[in-house]
C-alpha cells in the first residue's frame, strides 16, 4: 500500500506489547518544506556538540553564527536592521540560547588553535533604527576547561546550567546562580565572574556528574523545576534533584541527588521531557515526572518512556522508532501542538494535544515529523480529561529541503487556515498549528515551514505489512534502578529515605506557563529588588529583564564596591621568576664533588666556550622566534565597519579598529619572502653577534673570572672532603642567583635596545621600498584611467549611432505593418458559437476528443472547454494505455477550468472541474518540452483560485478535494 503524500502509518503496539519500528524513507515520496532565505554563507559542521544551537530567534531578532566566530543579528521582520557580536572572535561558538522569548542572549565559545580561552557571555539586545546593539551583562572566561553548552532555567533568568569539561576532561554540568557568584567589573564596564579555582566556578555549586561517562544532553523539567534529566554517552539516563545536593569529600562542588536511572545499550545523545502525564500502560501511581524520550545512535533512534513514579516502579519502554538506513547524525526536538479551543459548533473541544518529534538529517536535506498520539483519561474522583496519556507514535511525515541542516530551533505558531466554519476540515483531526524551523544549514540560514495541512494523518490506518515499514517485537529488557542499587537483581526503582516526594508539591508548584521574571521575589539581602552592597551582583539579571528596553541599554543596576586607590610599591625583581628554559641548567653540586677541581687556567674565558656556555646557533633561534611572531600577527581580525561598533576581540582585549588598507598591506608584507629575508639578514649580521658578545662579557665579568680566581687560590692548598663539599654547595647556590640577575640585566641593557634598533632599521628599509614600489603603480593607474576615458567617449559615439539606426528601423517596420493591414488581405472566416457547440457534441459522440478540445480551445472561451469536459468520457480519455490528449491541450484545459473554479457557484460544475483537474495533474509530465515554460504560471493561477475558494467557504464539503489537488500540483513544482 502507498501512503498519502509520503505519510506512513506506524503501529503503536503489537498484541498489546511494545514494538520497535523502522521506517525506510527511500521507499516513499517526501513533501517539500517551504523555505524563506535569511542569509547565504558556507558553514562548518561540528559533530562533537550536535545538540548545541547555532541559530536562535525570538519575537524581534534572528541570531546565527558566522564562520569567523562571530554572531550576526538581524531583524526578524526584515526591516534591514543588523548587528554583529564580536566577543567570540577566534573562538568556536558551540551554543546560542535566548531566555524564553526575552532579549537576553547567552552564547558559548570554545577554545581553538588561535585562542585558548573558553567563554560564556550573557548579552542584552536592543535596536536603534537600522542598528542592533548589544550590551554585555555577564562574562565567564577561563583557559583551564572548555565550556560547551548552556541550559536556561525554565522561568528564572538568574539560574542556568553550564555544560563543560572538568579537570579529568570529562563533560559535566554545573548549576550557576547569578545571585551568589563572585564577580568584578571589567575595564569594558560589564561584570566578569571570578572563579573559586581553576576548575570551579563557585565553591559549593551543584554539579551533575558521575554516571559513567560524558554528559551529552540535559533537560530541565518545566513542571517540577527541581528535576533534571541527563543523558550520558555510557548509555545512562539519570533523573536528578539538584535542590538536594550531596557533599563530596575533596571536591569543591556538591553533587545533585540521583533519583533514578534507566540504562540503554549504546550511547544516549538526547533526552527531552514530554507533556504527557501518564503512559498507556501506567497504573494509578503518582508520577514523579512526566513521560520522556531519549535518542541514541547519534539521534537516529528514538525511545519513548513512561514517567518516573513515586511508588518506585521503573520506567518502561513504550515504543522505539527510527530510520532503517540512518545517516551520520541527526537533530531531534519536540514541539507541542494544542487543538482548537472550540469545535465549529461552539462546543469546547475535547481533542487531546498533539506532539511532533522533529528529526533533521545533518548530512542530507531530509526532515521527518513523527506524530505522538495522545488521549485523555480520568481516574475515579477526578474531573474528566485530567490525565494526558501517551499512546505512541502512530505516523511519520517525511520532508525534503535543499541543504542539510547542521543546527536549528523548532517552534510552533498558529496556522493561517481559517477553520471556524469548516466542518469538513474540523472533522479530519487536522493539526491547526504550523511548525516553524530556524535552520542553520550547510550553505544558508533559512526559515523552514511545515504547514498544518502537510502534517495530516494518513487516510488509512496501519495494516501489516506496509511498504517501507519494518516492525519488531520489543522485549522490555531495560534495567532501571536507583543509582546506588545498579546491578541488583530486583531492578526496582528506589529512593533515598531523606528524599520526600511530597516536597515537590509543597515547595515547587507546577507552572504550565512560565511566570514573568519581573514578578519573581528578590533574593535574600535585596531590598526592593536592588543591591544592598553586600553582593553587588545579586539579581542583576532579573532586574534587567524586568526593565523596558531603552534606546541605549543601561548598565547593570547594581554597582561594584568602589575601593579607594592604594599606592602600590614598585615591583621588585625576583630572580626566581625566570624559568629554567630562559637560563642554562644550574650547577649540580654532585658534579663538583665527584671530580677533582681542575688546575688553574691562565685565561678564564676559555671555560666560556668549553665548559659552561657552549655556542648556540643564534641565527636559527632568532629566526624561529621571528617566524612564530610573524605567524601570530599575520592573520589579524579586521573590522567590517570603520565605526565604533567595529571592535575585534584579540587576546582577551578590545582593540580599536584600524584602517583596513593599512592592516591588509602590513599583513601581506609580513607574509612576503622579501620581508623575511631582509629581517633575517639584519638579525644574523648584527643582532646575533651582539647578543653573544654581551652575554659572554657579562658572564665572564660577573661570574667566571671571580670563580676561577677563587678556585685557583683554593687549589694551592689542601682541602678535606668536607670542605670540598661545602665549597661546591656554596658555589652552586650563589652562582645561580648571580647568573640569573646578570642575564636579566643583560637583556634589559643590551638585547632589548639592540632589538629595537634593528627592527627600526628593518621597517625603515621596508617603508622606503614600499614607497618606491608605489610610484610605478600610480603612473600605471593614471595611464589606465586615461585609456578608459577614451574608450567611454568612443562608446558614447557608438550608442548615438545605434540610436539613429534603431529609429530608422522602427519606421520601416511600421510602414510594412500598415501595408499588411490593408483591405487586400482577408482573414479566414470565424465559426459562430452554435457551430462550435454543435461541432464539439459531434466530435465527442464520435470519441474524437483531440478534435473536440482543439475546436473548443480555438474559441478562447472557457465555457466551450467546460462543455467539452461534460460531453467527453473521462474514463476513456485517461484510463487507457496512453492519454488521448496531448500535454499542451491538458495544460490549456487546466487553465480554462481554473476560470470555472473562480466563477461558478454550481456544485455540479465544481465536481466536474475537480475530477478533470485531478486527472490532468496526475497525467502531466513537468519536464515535457512543450509545457515546462508555461506550467509554473498555470499552477500558480490554480493554487490562487483554490485558496480563494477555500477562504470564501461556499463549498466547504469540497475542501478535502481542494487540498488533495494542492498536494498533487505541489508535486509538479518539485
3-class SS letters over 649-664 = EECCEEECCCCHHHHH
Q: Say how far apart CA 858 and CA 889 lie, in whole Å.
A: 11
What's the pTM value of the predicted model, to 2 decimals? 0.54
pLDDT given at position 162: 96
**Long-range contacts, 110-116 (Cβ 8 Å, 24+):** 110/146, 110/147, 110/148, 111/143, 111/146, 112/69, 114/90, 114/635, 115/89, 115/90, 115/91, 115/651, 116/143
Of 166, 265, 148, nearest to 210 by C-alpha is: 166
Phi, psi of 915 (to 5 degrees): -65, -45
Domain with CATH 2.40.128 in the chain: 48-203
pLDDT at 673: 59
Q: What's the confidence (pLDDT) of residue 651?
A: 42
Q: Tell me the C-alpha distance between 801 and 807, whole Å.
A: 10
Question: Residue 367: its pLDDT value, please?
Answer: 95
pLDDT the model gives residue 642:
37
What residues are paired with 95 via a beta bridge? 108
> Among positive and negative, which fits the CA dihedral 384, 385, 391, 396?
positive
Task: Give pLDDT, residue 597.
Answer: 36
pLDDT value, residue 97: 95
**CA 853, 859, 861, 864 torsion-angle sign:** negative
In angstroms, the Cα distances linking 445 to 83, 335, 358, 405 are 16, 21, 18, 9
Distance CA 805, CA 656 (A): 59
CA 28 from centre of chain: 29
Residue 961's alpha-carbon distances to 31, 521, 873, 916, 966, in angstroms, are 18, 56, 21, 12, 9
Per the rule left: phi > 0, alpha: psi between -120 and 50, beta: everything else, 293 is: beta
Cα(50)–Cα(299) distance, integer angstroms: 9
**C-alpha cell of residue 521:** 521575589
Strand spans (E) along 415-559: 433-441, 444-450, 469-473, 479-481
- Give the burial class of 886: count Cβ atoms within 10 A of its Cβ; 0-12 exposed, 13-18 middle, 19 or more buried: middle
- Span 48-203 CATH architecture: Beta Barrel (2.40)
Q: Which three cell numbers stand for residue 913?
A: 472541474
840-848: long-range contacts, CB 8 A cutoff, minimum separation 24: 840/864, 840/867, 840/868, 840/871, 841/871, 844/868, 844/871, 844/872, 845/871, 847/873, 847/876
Q: What is the DSSP string of 558-624?
A: S-PPPPPP--PPPPPP-GGGS-GGGSPPPPPHHHHHHSPPPPP-S-TTHHIIIII-----HHHHHHH
C-alpha–C-alpha distance, residues 165 and 172, integer Å: 6
| pLDDT profile of the chain (974 residues), mean per 10 | 70 85 86 91 86 93 89 90 91 93 91 90 93 93 93 91 92 91 90 89 87 88 90 92 84 88 90 89 78 93 92 87 92 86 70 90 94 83 74 94 94 67 46 86 92 88 86 62 35 40 42 44 39 42 47 35 35 35 37 36 36 37 36 35 38 39 37 62 71 75 72 67 73 72 77 78 78 72 81 87 84 76 54 84 87 85 87 84 86 89 85 88 84 86 88 83 85 74
pLDDT at residue 294, rounded to an integer: 96
906 vs 218: CA distance, rounded Å:
59
- Residue 4 has a pLDDT of 56
User: Which pairing describes strands 206-208 and 254-263: parallel, antiparallel, or unpaired?
Assistant: parallel
Amino acid at each position: 500500500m502507498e501512503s498519502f503524500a509520503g505519510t506512513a502509518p506506524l503501529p503503536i503496539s503489537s498484541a498489546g506489547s511494545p514494538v520497535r519500528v523502522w521506517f525506510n524513507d527511500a521507499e516513499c515520496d517526501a513533501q517539500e518544506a517551504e523555505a524563506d532565505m535569511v542569509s547565504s554563507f558556507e558553514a562548518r559542521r561540528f559533530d562533537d556538540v550536535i545538540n548545541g544551537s547555532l541559530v536562535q530567534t525570538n519575537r524581534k531578532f534572528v541570531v546565527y553564527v558566522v564562520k569567523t566566530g562571530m554572531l550576526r543579528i538581524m531583524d526578524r521582520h526584515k526591516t534591514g536592521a543588523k548587528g554583529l557580536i564580536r566577543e567570540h572572535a577566534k573562538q568556536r561558538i558551540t551554543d546560542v540560547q535566548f531566555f524564553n522569548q526575552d532579549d537576553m542572549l547567552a552564547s558559548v565559545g570554545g577554545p581553538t588553535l588561535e585562542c585558548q580561552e573558553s567563554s560564556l557571555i550573557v548579552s542584552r539586545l536592543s535596536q536603534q533604527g537600522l542598528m542592533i546593539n548589544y550590551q554585555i551583562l555577564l562574562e565567564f572566561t577561563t583557559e583551564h576547561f572548555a565550556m560547551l553548552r548552556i541550559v536556561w532555567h525554565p522561568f528564572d533568568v538568574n539560574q542556568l546550567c553550564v555544560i563543560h569539561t572538568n579537570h579529568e576532561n570529562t563533560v559535566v554540568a554545573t548549576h550557576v546562580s547569578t545571585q551568589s557568584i563572585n564577580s568584578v567589573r571589567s575595564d569594558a564596564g560589564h561584570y566578569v565572574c571570578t572563579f573559586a579555582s581553576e576548575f570551579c566556578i563557585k565553591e559549593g555549586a551543584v554539579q551533575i556528574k558521575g554516571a559513567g561517562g560524558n554528559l551529552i544532553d540535559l533537560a530541565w523539567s518545566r513542571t517540577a523545576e527541581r528535576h533534571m534529566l541527563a543523558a550520558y554517552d555510557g548509555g545512562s539516563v539519570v533523573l536528578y534533584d539538584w535542590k538536594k545536593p550531596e557533599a563530596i569529600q575533596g571536591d569543591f562542588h556538591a553533587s545533585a541527588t540521583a533519583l533514578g536511572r534507566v540504562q540503554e545499550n549504546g550511547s544516549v545523545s538526547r533526552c527531552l521531557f514530554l507533556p504527557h502525564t501518564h503512559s498507556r500502560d501506567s497504573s494509578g501511581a503518582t508520577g514523579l515526572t512526566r513521560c520522556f524520550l531519549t535518542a541514541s545512535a547519534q539521534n537516529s533512534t528514538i525511545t519513548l518512556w513512561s514517567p518516573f513514579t513515586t511508588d518506585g516502579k521503573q520506567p518502561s519502554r513504550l515504543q522505539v522508532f527510527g530510520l532503517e538506513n540512518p545517516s551520520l547524525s541527526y537533530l531531534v526536538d519536540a514541539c507541542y501542538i494544542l487543538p482548537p479551543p472550540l469545535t465549529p459548533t461552539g462546543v469546547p473541544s475535547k481533542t487531546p494535544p498533539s506532539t511532533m518529534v522533529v528529526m533533521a538529517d545533518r548530512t542530507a536535506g531530509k526532515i521527518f515529523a513523527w506524530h505522538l498520539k495522545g488521549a485523555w483519561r480520568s481516574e475515579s474522583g477526578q474531573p474528566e480529561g485530567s490525565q494526558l496519556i501517551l499512546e505512541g507514535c502512530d505516523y511519520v511525515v517525511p520532508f525534503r529541503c535543499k541543504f542539510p541542516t547542521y543546527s536549528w530551533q523548532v517552534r510552533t505558531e498558529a496556522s493561517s487556515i481559517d477553520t471556524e466554519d469548516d466542518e469538513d476540515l474540523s472533522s479530519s483531526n487536522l493539526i491547526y498549528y504550523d511548525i516553524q524551523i530556524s535552520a542553520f544549514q550547510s550553505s544558508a540560514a533559512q526559515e523552514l515551514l511545515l504547514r498544518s495541512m502537510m502534517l495530516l494523518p494518513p487516510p488509512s490506518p496501519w495494516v501489516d505489512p506496509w511498504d517501507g515499514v519494518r516492525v519488531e517485537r520489543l522485549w522490555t529488557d531495560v534495567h532501571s534502578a536507583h543509582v546506588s542499587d545498579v546491578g541488583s537483581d530486583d531492578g526496582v526503582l528506589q529512593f533515598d529515605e531523606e528524599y520526600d516526594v511530597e516536597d515537590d508539591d509543597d515547595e515547587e508548584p507546577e507552572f504550565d506557563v512560565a511566570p514573568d521574571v519581573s514578578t519573581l521575589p528578590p533574593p535574600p539581602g535585596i531590598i526592593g529588588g536592588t543591591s544592598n552592597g553586600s553582593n553587588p551582583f545579586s539579581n542583576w539579571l532579573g532586574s534587567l529583564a524586568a526593565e523596558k528596553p531603552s534606546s541605549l541599554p543601561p548598565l547593570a543596576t547594581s554597582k561594584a564596591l568602589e575601593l579607594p586607590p592604594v599606592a602600590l610599591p614598585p615591583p621588585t625583581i625576583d630572580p626566581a621568576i625566570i624559568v629554567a628554559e630562559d637560563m642554562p641548567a644550574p650547577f649540580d653540586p654532585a658534579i663538583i664533588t665527584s671530580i677533582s677541581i681542575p688546575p688553574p687556567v691562565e685565561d678564564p674565558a676559555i671555560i666560556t666556550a668549553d665548559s659552561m656556555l657552549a655556542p648556540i646557533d643564534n641565527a636559527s633561534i632568532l629566526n624561529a622566534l621571528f617566524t612564530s611572531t610573524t605567524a601570530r600577527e599575520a592573520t589579524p581580525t579586521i573590522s567590517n565597519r570603520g565605526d565604533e561598533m567595529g571592535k575585534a576581540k584579540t587576546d582577551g582585549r578590545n582593540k580599536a579598529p584600524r584602517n583596513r588598507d593599512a592592516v591588509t598591506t602590513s599583513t601581506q608584507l609580513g607574509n612576503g619572502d622579501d620581508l623575511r629575508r631582509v629581517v633575517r639578514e639584519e638579525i644574523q649580521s648584527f643582532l646575533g653577534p651582539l647578543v653573544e658578545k654581551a652575554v659572554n662579557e657579562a658572564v665572564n665579568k660577573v661570574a667566571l673570572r671571580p670563580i676561577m680566581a677563587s678556585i685557583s687560590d683554593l687549589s694551592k692548598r689542601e682541602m678535606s672532603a668536607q670542605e670540598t663539599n661545602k665549597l661546591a654547595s656554596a658555589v652552586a647556590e650563589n652562582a645561580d642567583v648571580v647568573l640569573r640577575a646578570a642575564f636579566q640585566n643583560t637583556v634589559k641593557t643590551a638585547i632589548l635596545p639592540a632589538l629595537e634598533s634593528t627592527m627600526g632599521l628593518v621597517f625603515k628599509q621596508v617603508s622606503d621600498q614600499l614607497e618606491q614600489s608605489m610610484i610605478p603603480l600610480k603612473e600605471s593607474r593614471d595611464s589606465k584611467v586615461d585609456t578608459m576615458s577614451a574608450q567611454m567617449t568612443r562608446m558614447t559615439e557608438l550608442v548615438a549611432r545605434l540610436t539613429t539606426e534603431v529609429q530608422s528601423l522602427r519606421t520601416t517596420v511600421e510602414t510594412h505593418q500598415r501595408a499588411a493591414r490593408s483591405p487586400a488581405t482577408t482573414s479566414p472566416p470565424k465559426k459562430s458559437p452554435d457551430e462550435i457547440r454543435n461541432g464539439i457534441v459531434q466530435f465527442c459522440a464520435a470519441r474524437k476528443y483531440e478534435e473536440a478540445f482543439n475546436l473548443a480551445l480555438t474559441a478562447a472561451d472557457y465555457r466551450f472547454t467546460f462543455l467539452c469536459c461534460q460531453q467527453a468520457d473521462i474514463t476513456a480519455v485517461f484510463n487507457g494505455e496512453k492519454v488521448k490528449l496531448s500535454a499542451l491541450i491538458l495544460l490549456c484545459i487546466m487553465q480554462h477550468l481554473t476560470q470555472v473554479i473562480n466563477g461558478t457557484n454550481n456544485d455540479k460544475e465544481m465536481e466536474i472541474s475537480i475530477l478533470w483537474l485531478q486527472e490532468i495533474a496526475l497525467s502531466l509530465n513537468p519536464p515535457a518540452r512543450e509545457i515546462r515554460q508555461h506550467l509554473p504560471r498555470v499552477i500558480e493561477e490554480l493554487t490562487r483560485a483554490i485558496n480563494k475558494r477555500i477562504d470564501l467557504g461556499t463549498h466547504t464539503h469540497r475542501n478535502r478535494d481542494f487540498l488533495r489537488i494542492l498536494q498533487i500540483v505541489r508535486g509538479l513544482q518539485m
